[in-house]
Amino acid sequence: MTAARVPGEVVVSGLAFPEGPRWHRDALYFSDVHSHQVLRWRAGTLEVVAHVPGRPSGLGFLDEETLLVSSQEDRRVHRVDLRTPGAPPVVHADLGRVATWHLNDLLTDARGRAYVGNYGDGAPPGEPIAPAALALVDVDGSVRAVADELFFPNGMALLDEGRTLVVAETRSEPGRLTAFDVSADGSLRGRRTLIAFTGQWPDGIAADRHGTLWVACPFDAEVLRVSADGRIVGRVAVPDPYAVAIGGDDGTDLFVATADTWVPEEAAVVRSGRILVFRGVAADAPR
């Protein structure tokens, strides 16, 4: 299956390293990690939502007006009140007793509970990495581990109206998407491999309204579309895709965060980061 050459439109450029895109109330929210900012793009306008000194990464929503941000270096999740422009982030949860290294992606469910991954340790790509635990932050800020032995738990998505959680294990061998059944209290059970890739390192993921997953594969220059039963059913060629979101007016647009380099010192200077949108690619159900 060759990658589809679907035209992509650059809607934001000049970023250091964009991450964690989320579509919410007619706007795209995302982190610019090495600029220490959370940004919002809406109708062609870009604005700063929050400054996070510990490097922002994953985003989610506690409720309609409260943004949650994972802060990588201090291993905390912060709250941002969207009703008060310029309000500083407030600590929502400290994950220091669960996360063994920097936090990365974050996903909230319909209740505002947040699943949060971390690197496991500081081993660079190409070297063995320690497995990590996946944390659940409840709405009151309490924290507990709900899965362990995950190799760089990264992008996440909920399927089946929140009954299934899928986690990208970026640095497992081979790279894979791991699925769990979600209990009423947010606990996870029934761990299984949804798909094991051949050579790809899955990074950020997102689910569309058809229950299929869009998987960013930065080292293969493509975004894969994966069915709920673990088949690759589509490909979109994109340079250096690290994270994705599904959104737009009708929920069929694919937003992709890209950058030429993820190395902090280089990224902050080069500022090659961009947000691309591929209009309507998620409109049709896969065959």
Confidence of residue 2 (pLDDT cuts 50, 70, 90): very low
Written in H, E and C, the secondary structure of 222-246 is: EEEEECCCCCEEEEEECCCEEEEEE
Are the C-beta atoms of residues 193 and 233 closer than 8 Å to each other? no
Closest CA to 24 of 61, 77, 70, 71: 61
| Residue 81 backbone phi and psi in degrees, to 5 | -80, 110
Residue 4 predicted with pLDDT over 60: no
Q: What is the pLDDT of residues 129-143, one digit of tens each?
A: 999 999 999 999 999
- The pLDDT, as a whole number, for residue 274 is 97
- The pLDDT, as a whole number, for residue 5 is 56
Confidence of residue 182 (pLDDT cuts 50, 70, 90): very high
> What pTM was computed for the model?
0.95
Are the C-beta atoms of residues 103 and 135 closer than 8 Å to each other? no
Are the C-beta atoms of residues 105 and 58 closer than 8 Å to each other? yes
Q: What is the pLDDT of residues 68-100, one digit of tens each?
A: 999 999 999 999 999 998 889 999 999 999 999
Q: What is the pLDDT of residues 36-54, one digit of tens each?
A: 999 999 999 999 999 999 9
